[in-house]
Structures are given as C-alpha cells and as structure tokens.
C-alpha cells in the first residue's frame, strides 16, 4: 500500500519536473537545453513508477481476496506504538534546528541530547546524571573544536 | 608507476599522518563493533573533521576508518553470533560455532589474519590494475563516459535492494536531486522553487548524512528494533568469554590454506570494484565459493578454519577493489568511496581518469594509506581486542542523541548555513521511507554524485557532434550500453525464474 503511494508521489514529481523543464530558455539547436536532461530523467522515472504502481495494484488485488479486513483503528493504534519514538524524535529534531537560531547552539544541543536520551532510555537518577554529563561534554567539545580548529561560527542566539 | 610509489610513501610516512590513520582505524573498528552504528555513518561523520586538514591527510584518515570498520564486525560476529555490520553476516556461520567449541581466541585471530592478508593481496591488485584502467579511460570521449555512467548505475540498481525496478527508481531519483540548482553548463537556476538556499543545489553531503545516518537512527528507534537491542544486551552480559589469541600459531593456520585466502581475496576485490556491490555481498559469496571448492564442504558451518578465513578475507579485500574505479575513473563503488570523492571535491580536486596524472602524490597517498591502515588494523586488533569488547556496552539512549547532534553539526559545518539543516531533515525522512519500503539507498546516493557527470558528458557529446547515434556507433560506448541492458535483463530474468520456482514448490503439495 505504502509502495503504491510512493509510486504515485514519484509520478507526480516527475510530471512537475517534466513540465517545469519545458519552461527553461532554449539555446540554439546544436546543443541540449538546460531542460533536456531533467526531462529525459523525469520521463524515465515516470515510466518506471507507473510500472511499480501497476505491479503493486496487481499484488493488492490478489491479496484482497484472501486477507481479512483489518480494523483501521486498531491498525493506526499499532502503528503509533511501533513508530512513537520515530515521530517524537523527528519533531524534536525539527524543533531543535528551529530553536537553534534563537537560543544558540550550546543550550539547545545540551537540552536536545538530554531530552532524547531520557525519552529513549531509562529514567533513573543515575541515568539522568550520565546523560547530563555526556551532553555537556559532547556539546562543549564539538563547539570548542569547530570554533577553534576549523573557525566555524555556530549560531550564538539572541541573548549573547 | 614507481613515482607514484615514492610520492605516496613520502606523503604517508609522516608522524602526524600515521597517527591520523591510526585514529581512523580505531574509530572504524568501534563503528563496526557497535550494533546500529555503521561504517558509512562513521565515514560521513569524520568528513567534517577533515576539512581543516590537507587532502592527503583527510583521505588517509577516512581510509583508516574504512579498513578498521571492515574488520570491526568480526568481534561481535565471532563471540556473539551477531554481525556488527552487514559485511560480517557469513563470518558468523563458522566463527561463532568455533567460539562455542571454546576456541574463541582462535576464531578471532584467524579472522584478523585473514582480514590483514587479504587487504595486502587487494592492495597489490589495486596498485597494479588502477593505473592501467585510468590510462584506458583517458582515451574515452564524452560518449563513452556517458555510457559508462549509465552502465554503472544499472549495475548498482541490479545488485542492491529487493528489485531492480526499485533500484532504478532510486537511482533516477538521486539524479533528479542533483539537477536542483545551477545548470552545470549554462549556470541557469533549475527547480529552486525561488528559494535562495537551493540556488547552489542540494549539497551531496547533506543528502548523504540524511539518507545514511539520520534514516538509520530513525530505524533503530522503532519499537521492534528497541526490543531486539535490549535482548541482545542481556545476552551480551552473560558472555564474558575468556580467550587466548596466539597470533603466531593461527598465522600458520591461515597460511596453510593459501587457496582459500587468495581465492576469497580475489573474489572480494572483484566484487568491491563493481559499483554498488560491497562487503556484505563479498562476505557471503566468498564463503559460498570456499565451501563449494572445499574437500570437506559438509563440515562448513561447524567451525572450520576455511569458513572464517574465506568470509573475513572476502569482506576486507573489497576495500582495495572499491578503490579501483574510485581512483581510476572517478566513479565511486560504494557510498563510502562516494564520501571519499566528495572530500576531494571539497578541496577543489576533480576526481576522474586524470587524477593519477594530475595528482600523483594524492593517488600514491591513497594507496599507501590503505597499506598502512591494514598494518594498524592488525596491531590494534591483537592488542586492543579486550578493550574494544567493552565498548559494545554503550547504550542506545546515549548513542542516538549524540550521533544526531553530530549529524547536525557535520551538516552545519559544511556551508555554515542553517537552511541546510532543514534539507537534512527532509533527506532523513526520504531516506527512512526508502529504506523502509525496500528502495536501496546506494543507487540514490551514487545517482546524486554521477548525475551531473552524466549530464555534462551527454551535453558535451551533443555539442561536439549533434549526431546522437554516435552513442551506438562508437564501439566502446555501444559495449557499455549493451552491458547496461544486459545487467537489467539478467536481473529481471533471474527474478522471474526464482519466482517461477517458488510457485512450483508451493503448488506441488496440494
């Protein structure tokens, strides 16, 4: 099912690329335009994705006959339990990157490591201590290394 | 040829570079050991650290990581029966039974010796073959280069993932990612959606870190994986195995099986040189071949020497093989060597057939870094094995956030841009979905790196002569294209036959 959706998304993507490639300025006839190569690739991708979609629909139809109807709600619940940490981690990562420009690298990084560490692992007193120490050491050592050796300027935030 | 050696030796035998390679080997072994932390991840994350070094030092360090990583999987494979990396799956077949019989020390040292000696064999293959191939490649025009890239991509698509269809889709998707940004010939901005951040294109390394590191971390956070990991750790604690290494005695054991050693090393080198096929395939194929040729093949799987030697020789020799097309043609054989090439590009060096002519010191340096890394691997494995084993106890809840932060830092350091971090997240999600539904990531990554090269060569070819049939009338170009079509047809045919057989078997009992 998911593969079917991926296939459809890819067909859409190749259509967008194909039609956008047509809008690029055309040079003289002896050479390829900026749009030609993407056009060819998009066409190839579209054809392969259509094949994928057809194969998957065929599979789905033949399976539908034997498979019993699964309760949609149960299924969603199961999905949430299985991928809970993945979802939460993704959104924390997004938040971390977003907040970095306002609060600065050091504070957000320390908070992020502690947050994810406690989310994923056990939450006893000893573990909190270990993860806190790790986060501070990792953050400060990467910060100092890149600032001093490679002269990278990390975002320092609005307060400093 | 000999200038290459003297220049290489002069580049590598300096105290600081030897030290860098040593650190790389240790990092690689650790990455190979810790389940959930892959060698590719380690290479990707060491890259930002090498920006400040000169190109030879940076590349030498990465080769250290690669060589160390290939042999790191051995320890957990032999002692626990769990492959630390996909490249040591076949190692568990014989090394684990051997260690269950109480000969853990023998299994480990056999593996280390096989890894080392096979690296040396593949080193000789590398230095003798790579310069010849690049000399041949210099004669190729844009038509042949384009066809060569096409065949590389179809081969990658056919050897990885669950179907060639998905492999090709992933490869084309990678090429499309690379078309975002300035057009390589006229400089026109393409598909940027009017975003300033996309004008320079989507940086290759951001795609790589997102697809290989972030997506892998997401996978390890699934509940299934977490439960498995917990179980593994509990088992792990029960096994504080005592072992003695006896390096000299096992060296004799390995040398008494020259056929297995050399055969597996050659198989490993060839498989390594094929784009997309790497340690994980070589490991199994070498084991299988050794079993087929052995006089007592029925004993395989119970802990025989040849089994351990073949599997470890197979995966370690892929490093030398992998470097052949990378150095000679500028076409990376795997995600890992793709990183190596992009490190060179960061320093303004263009990989390709001219690399050996223009940068002989660099190419010599790559060769000798590989040799030195193999020696360091031998020494550190024998002396530090006990210490390394303790590191497998690092819990996932420390590892995951720290590596996520390192990914973010690595991406940021690249261009000093916060917008790259959002691209990183998008690529992480795409990579996760791809991996989840059986689209392999290797063709996508190689597509990103080879896509622009394909386009430039295609357009140069048309510019030189608008006659497009030249792709089919120039013999070498035609040969490559025929090979590309064959690689697709062969895989489709094989799949069809396998399915047909499966159907026959399932239908018979009824």
CA nearest to A3 within chain B:
B437
Say yes or no: ipTM exceeds 0.95. no
**Partners of residue A109 in chain B, C-beta under 8 Å:** 405
Final residue of a structural domain among A14, A41, A66: A66
Same domain as A100, residue A140: yes
Nearest CA in chain B to A39: B176
pLDDT grade, residue B467 (50/70/90)?
A: confident
What's the pLDDT at A111?
A: 93
Instruction: Tabulate helix, strand, coil % of chain B (nearest 5).
Output: 80, 0, 20
Instruction: Indicate whether B20 pLDDT > 70.
Output: yes
**Helix residue ranges, H only, A67-159:** 72-103, 105-120, 125-148
**Do both A27 and A61 map to the same domain?**
yes
CB burial class (10 A; 0-12, 13-18, 19+) of residue A155? middle
B234 interfacial to chain A (CB closer than 8 Å): no
- Nearest by CB to residue B222, choosing from A41, A82, A134, is A82
Strand partners, B190: B181
DSSP B125-147: HHHHHHHHHHHHHTT--HHHHHH
Instruction: Say how far apart CA B42 and CA B25 lie, in whole Å.
Output: 11
Domain range enclosing A21: 2-66
Is residue B231 within 8 A of residue B84, CB to CB? The reply is no
B189 touching chain A per CB within 8 A: no
> Pick the residue with more confidence: B315 or B396?
B315
Inside any domain, residue A38: yes
- What digits encode the pLDDT tens for the residues B200-228? 788 888 888 898 889 888 988 888 877 87
Q: Could you tell me if A14 and A50 lie in one domain?
A: yes
- The answer on A6 and A29 residing in a single domain is yes
| CA-wise closest residue to B62 among B16, B27, B14, B114 | B27
Range picked from B1-15, B74-88, B155-169, B440-454 for highest mean pLDDT:
B440-454
Mean pLDDT computed over every residue of chain A: 85
Q: Do A4 and A56 contact (CB within 8 A), yes or no?
A: yes
Selecting from B176, B190, B405 the residue whose C-beta is nearest the C-beta of A45 gives B176
Query: What is the distance between the alpha carbons of residues B56 and B50, in angstroms, rounded to a whole number?
Result: 10
Q: For residues A80 and A56, state if they share a domain.
A: no
Going from the C-alpha of B245 to that of each of B81, B105, B106, B497, the distances in angstroms are 18, 5, 6, 46
Q: DSSP letter at A89? A: H
The verdict on A42 and A101 lying in the same domain is: no
**Tens-digit pLDDT profile for residues B138-186:** 888 889 989 998 988 888 888 776 788 898 999 999 999 988 888 877 7
Inter-residue contact B355 to B349 (CB < 8 Å) = yes
- In angstroms, the separation between the Cα of residue B183 and the nearest Cα of chain A is 6
B residues 211..230 contacting A (CB < 8 A): 214, 217-218, 221-224, 226
CA B165 – CA B187 distance, rounded (Å): 32
Q: How far off is chain A from B135, nearest CA to CA, in Å?
A: 29
Cβ–Cβ of B413/A150 closer than 8 Å? yes
Q: Which residue has the tokens 């043609």?
A: B329
Please indicate, yes or no, if residue A6 is contained in any of the structural domains. yes
Q: Which residues of chain A have pLDDT under 50?
A: none
The DSSP-derived string for B408-457 is HHHHHHHHT-SHHHHHHHHHHHHHHHHHHTT--HHHHHHHHHHHHHHHHH
- Which of A34, A50, A66 is the C-terminal boundary of a domain? A66
Higher pLDDT, B7 or B187: B7
Tokens coding B251:
């060296």
- Give kind and range of the element (H or E) at residue B189: strand B189-190
> Across the interface, which of B404, B406, B416 has its CB nearest the CB of A93?
B404
The percentage of chain B sitting over the pLDDT mark of 90, rounded to a whole number, equals 20
When CB atoms are compared, the residue of B186, B422, B455 closest to A97 is: B422
For residue B313 the two structure tokens come to: 């020789």
Within a domain: A159:
no
Of the candidates B188, B222, B458, the beta carbon closest to that of A83 is on B222
Q: What is the rounded distance in angstroms from the CA atom of residue B263 to the CA atom of residue B33? A: 26
Domain count, chain A: 2
* Residues in chain B within 8 Å Cβ distance of A10: 169, 173
- For residues A20 and A84, membership in a common domain is answered with no
Q: How far is B311 from chain A (nearest CA, A)?
A: 35
- Who among A20, A51, A142 is closest to B191 (CB)? A20
Across the A:B interface, residue pairs with CB atoms under 8 Å apart total: 165
Shared domain for A126 and A77, answered yes or no, is yes
CA distance A5 to chain B (A): 11
Domain annotation covers residue A157: no
* Nearest residue on chain B to A29, alpha-carbon basis: B466
The minimal CB distance from A134 to the residues B217, B398, B454 is found for: B398
pLDDT at B238 over 60: no
Query: Left if phi > 0, otherwise alpha if psi is -120 to 50, otherwise beta: which for B276?
Result: left
Whether residues A78 and A143 fall in one domain: yes
What band does B510 get if pLDDT is binned at 50, 70 and 90? Answer: very low
Report residue B504's pLDDT band, with 50, 70 and 90 as the boundaries.
Answer: confident
Q: What are phi and psi of B190, to 5 degrees?
A: -120, 145
pLDDT above 50 (res B420): yes
Per the DSSP assignment, residues forming a β-bridge with B181 are: B190
B412 touches A at CB < 8 Å = yes
Q: What Rg do the C-alpha atoms of chain B give, in angstroms?
A: 23
**Same domain assignment for residues A41 and A80:** no
Residue A154 lies in a domain: no
Q: What is the DSSP letter of B87?
A: G
DSSP A60-81: HHHHHHHSPPPPHHHHHHHHHH
Instruction: For residues A46 and A87, state if they share a domain.
Output: no
Q: Confirm whether A49 is domain-assigned.
A: yes
Whole-number average pLDDT of chain B? 85
Q: In angstroms, rounded to a whole number, what is the distance separating the alpha carbons of residues B340 and B323?
A: 10
Q: Which residues contact B3 (CB under 8 A, 6 or more apart)?
A: B360, B364
Q: Is the pLDDT of residue B31 over 60?
A: yes
Asked whether residue A140 falls in the same domain as residue A88, the answer is: yes
- Say how many residues make up chain B: 510
pLDDT tens-digit readout, B36-74? 677 888 888 888 888 778 888 999 999 999 899 888 888
> Does A34 map to a domain?
yes
Torsions phi, psi for B182 (to 5 deg): -70, 135
How far away is chain B from the Cα of A69, in angstroms, using its nearest Cα? 22
In a domain, A61, yes or no: yes
Report CB contact under 8 Å: B172, A93. Answer: no
Residue ending a domain, choose from A46, A66, A86: A66
Neighboring chain A residues of B439 at a CB cutoff of 8 Å: 6
Residue with tokens 């350091």: B413
The residue whose two tokens read 């844009």 is B142
Phi, psi (deg, nearest 5) at residue B126: -60, -50
- Cα dist. B354→B131, B160, B342 in Å? 10, 29, 16
Tokens found for residue A149: 């050796």
pLDDT tens digits, B379-392:
998 888 878 877 76
Look at the block and give the residue holding tokens 């986060």.
Answer: A135
CB contact under 8 A, A86 and B413: no
| CA angle, residues B19, B20, B26, in degrees to nearest 5 | 90
- Tell me which of A71-75, A83-87, B239-243, B448-452 is least confident: B239-243
User: Chain B residues with CB inside 8 Å of A38's CB?
Assistant: 176, 179, 190-191
Per-residue model confidence (pLDDT) at position A65? 58
Cβ-defined contacts of A132-140 (< 8 Å, 24+)? A134/B398, A134/B402, A135/A109, A135/A110, A135/B401, A136/A110, A138/A109, A138/A113, A138/B402, A138/B405, A139/A105, A139/A106, A139/A109, A139/A110, A139/A113, A139/B405, A140/A106
In chain A, which residues have their Cβ closer than 8 Å to the Cβ of B227? none
Sign of CA dihedral B458, B461, B466, B468: negative
Candidates A20, A21, A38, A54: best to mutate against B (most CBs of B within 10 A) is A38
Question: Is the CB of residue B285 less than 8 Å away from at least one CB of chain A?
Answer: no
């Amino acid at each position: 099912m998911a593969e079917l959706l991926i296939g459809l998304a890819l067909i859409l993507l190749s259509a967008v690329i194909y039609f956008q490639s047509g809008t690029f300025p055309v040079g003289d006839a002896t050479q390829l335009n900026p749009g030609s190569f993407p056009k060819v690739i998009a066409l190839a991708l579209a054809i392969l994705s259509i094949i994928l979609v057809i194969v998957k629909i065929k599979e789905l139809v033949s399976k539908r006959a034997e498979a019993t109807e699964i309760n949609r709600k149960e299924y969603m619940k199961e999905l949430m339990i299985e991928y809970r940490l993945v979802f939460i981690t993704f959104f924390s990562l997004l938040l971390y990157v977003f907040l970095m420009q306002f609060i600065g690298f050091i504070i957000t990084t320390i908070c992020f490591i502690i947050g994810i560490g406690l989310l994923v692992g056990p939450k006893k007193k000893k573990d909190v201590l270990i993860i806190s120490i790790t986060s501070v050491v990792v953050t400060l050592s990467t910060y100092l290394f890149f600032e001093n050796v490679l002269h990278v300027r990390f975002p320092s935030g609005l307060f400093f | 040829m000999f200038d290459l050696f003297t220049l290489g030796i002069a580049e590598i035998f300096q105290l600081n570079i030897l030290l860098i390679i040593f650190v790389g080997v240790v990092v690689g072994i650790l990455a190979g050991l810790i389940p959930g932390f892959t060698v590719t991840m380690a290479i990707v994350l060491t890259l930002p650290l090498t920006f400040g070094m000169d190109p030879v030092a940076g590349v030498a360090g990465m080769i250290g990581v690669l060589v160390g990583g290939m042999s790191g999987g051995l320890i957990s494979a032999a002692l626990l029966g769990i492959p630390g990396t996909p490249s040591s799956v076949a190692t568990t077949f014989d090394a684990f039974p051997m260690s269950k019989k109480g000969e853990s020390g023998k299994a480990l040292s056999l593996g280390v010796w096989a890894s080392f000696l096979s690296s040396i064999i593949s080193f000789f293959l590398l230095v003798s073959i790579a310069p010849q191939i690049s000399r041949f490649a210099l004669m190729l025009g844009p038509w042949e280069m384009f066809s060569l890239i096409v065949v590389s991509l179809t081969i990658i698509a056919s050897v990885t993932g669950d179907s060639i269809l998905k492999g090709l889709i992933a490869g084309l998707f990678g090429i499309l990612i690379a078309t975002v940004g300035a057009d390589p010939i006229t400089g026109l901005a393409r598909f940027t959606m009017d975003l300033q951040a996309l004008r320079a294109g989507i940086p290759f390394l951001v795609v790589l870190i997102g697809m290989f590191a972030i997506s892998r971390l997401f996978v390890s956070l699934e509940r299934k994986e977490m439960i498995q990991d917990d179980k593994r750790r509990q088992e792990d604690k029960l096994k504080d195995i005592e072992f003695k290494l006896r390096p000299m005695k096992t060296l004799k054991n390995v040398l008494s099986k020259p056929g297995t050693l050399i055969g597996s090393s050659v198989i490993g080198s060839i498989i390594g040189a094929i784009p997309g096929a790497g340690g994980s395939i070589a490991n199994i194929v070498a084991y299988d071949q050794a079993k087929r040729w052995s006089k007592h093949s029925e004993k395989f799987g119970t802990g025989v020497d040849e089994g351990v030697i073949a599997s470890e020789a197979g995966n370690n020799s892929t490093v030398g093989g992998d470097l052949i097309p990378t150095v000679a043609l500028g076409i990376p054989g795997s995600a890992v060597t793709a990183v190596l090439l992009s490190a060179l590009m960061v320093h303004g060096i263009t990989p390709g057939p001219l690399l050996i002519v223009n940068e002989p010191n660099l190419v010599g340096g790559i060769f000798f870094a590989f040799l030195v890394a193999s020696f360091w691997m031998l020494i550190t494995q024998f002396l530090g094995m006990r210490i390394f084993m303790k590191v497998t106890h690092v819990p996932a809840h420390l590892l995951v956030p720290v590596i996520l932060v390192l990914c973010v830092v690595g991406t940021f350091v690249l261009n000093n841009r916060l917008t790259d971090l959002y691209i990183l997240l998008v690529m992480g999600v795409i990579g996760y979905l791809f991996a989840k539904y059986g689209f392999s990531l290797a063709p996508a990554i190689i597509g990103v790196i080879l896509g622009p090269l394909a386009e430039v060569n295609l357009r140069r070819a048309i510019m030189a002569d608008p006659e497009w049939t030249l792709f089919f009338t120039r013999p070498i170009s035609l040969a490559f294209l025929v090979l590309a079509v064959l690689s697709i047809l062969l895989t489709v045919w094989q799949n069809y036959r396998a399915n047909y057989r499966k159907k026959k078997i399932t239908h018979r009992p009824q």
